[in-house]
Structure 1
Amino acid sequence: MTKYAAPALVISECQQGLLDPPPGAFSGLAEQAADRRLVEHTAELARAFRARSLPVVHCIISHRADQMGMVPNSYLGKLAIRGRMMVEGTPDVAIPAELGPEPTDLVSSRATGLTAFYGTNLDAMLRLQRVQTLVLAGISTNVAIPGLAMEAVNRGYDIVLAEDCTAGTTAEGHDYMVKNMLAMLTRITPAADVIGRLPG
């Protein structure tokens, strides 16, 4: 079995405000993440990376309290501004304890925009670790993960989607995005197969 070249696990937006939101806000996404046991599967994958001294990166949303730089030019932007969601220093931005972050993990925080590379040091973090392959996990397959995958492809990384470590707002939407968009950008595989291809 061919091993991945210099892989890192990149966990997208696994935060309390999305995994356990207030009623009505992202309820479909939270239900799908729970049904798919996303946190449990992702935690197992993260342990496998750490056991091999491979990077684990958490990409989180953490809006400024004054909302500086936030623009209501998308539904998600309007929702975040109106509901004051995912604000730094609030429980919304917390990463579930099962996922870390552990002392060896890296955290890339985004205050504005919709995707993990926008306005962050994520690319520099990865390149300084000599990373070549990104294994993507987390949420959501509607917006954040396709955006992350496309930006990573543009930067020359090889991309793997740990499909059973991801979720969207509906099962149908998730399947559609995986088959019709993410399949064009990533190698889609279950977490167990990812672990079998890790070096070290």
Structure 2
Amino acid sequence: MGRVEGVAVLVMEMQRGVVGDLTKFPDLRAACERHDVVPNTARLLTAARAAAIPVVHCTAAFRADRAGSHTANCPFIVSLLKDPAHMLEGTPAVEVLPELRDPGDLESRRHHGFSPFTGTSLDMTLRSLGVSTVVATGVSLNLGIPGLALEAVNLGYRVTVVTDAVAGIPEDYARAVLWNTISLLATRATAADLAGTWK
């Protein structure tokens, strides 16, 4: 398979403590299961790696002392951090799902906010790789995926969102986001469509 230039896959928060065996969000995990988000993502990542497309896991974590994290500027984060053990750096909860990991993948870790570019080295990493188009997978369609798409567009990237490799809850709202918000920011494609174009 030939090399595909200028593209990277961004995998948003597909972590054990978010949608895996250690989740604190069972409804989100159930939505992923109903829509085969993990197997669809795994198939897409296999095709990307075979085409020498970089895979970047955009992960979230908190330090135990919360240094580097704004902890009171957002109601959702305030709620999350009532659990002092939530998504702590160095714990199994922040690990990428094992079925999505590969030794050659990259990781971009953030300690605040909901989207992967602000305050991280992700933009510089992508530019150093010659990336102009990002392909977004993961969770959630409530915050993370729209934030990723909007930030990427503002930074000059083209964006594709993989419609069968993303999820959010409630599911009717997630579908509305895909059709009414994501459609204004990004192209949409299925994992099979993209894997086929990368052969």
Amino acid at match of 1:47: T
1:111-167 residue CA offsets vs partner (Å, 9 max, x unmatched): 111110121100011000000110100000100010000000001100001110000
Is residue 142 from structure 1 mapped to residue 142 from structure 2 by the alignment?
yes
Match of 2:59 in 1: 60
Q: How does 1:1-200 map to 2 (within 5 A)?
A: 6-20=6-20, 25-68=24-67, 69-84=69-84, 85-100=86-101, 102-198=102-198
Gaps of 5+ in 1: none
CA contact (8 A) 2:37 2:166 kept: yes
Shift of 1:75: 2.6
Q: Which moved more, 1:73-82 or 1:34-43?
A: 73-82
State the 1:21 CA deviation.
Answer: 6.5
Q: TM-score, normalised by structure 2?
A: 0.92
What is the letter of the counterpart of residue 43 of structure 2?
Answer: E
- Offset, 1:81: 1.4
Letter in structure 1 aligned against 2:90:
G
Whole-Å separation in 1 of the counterparts to 2:96 and 2:56: 12
Q: How many angstroms does 1:5 deviate by?
A: 5.8
Provide the rounded CA distance (Å) in 1 between the counterparts of 2:12 and 2:22: 20
CA contact (8 A) 2:149 2:159 kept: yes
Which ranges in structure 2 are unaligned for 5 or more consecutive residues? Answer: none
What is the RMSD computed on CA atoms of the aligned residues? 1.6
Report the AA paired with residue 45 of structure 1: L
Partner SS for 1:98: helix
Q: Percent identity?
A: 36
Tell me the number of residue pairs that the alignment of Structure 1 and Structure 2 aligns.
Answer: 194
Amino acid at match of 2:42: A
Shift of 1:67: 0.9
CA contact (8 A) 2:6 2:132 kept: yes
Q: Deviations over 1:83-109 (max 9, x none)?
A: 131110112101111000x22211000
Instruction: State the secondary structure of the residue aligned to 1:152.
Output: helix
Instruction: Name segments (4+ residues, structure 1) moved above 4 Å.
Output: none
TM-score with structure 1 setting the length: 0.92
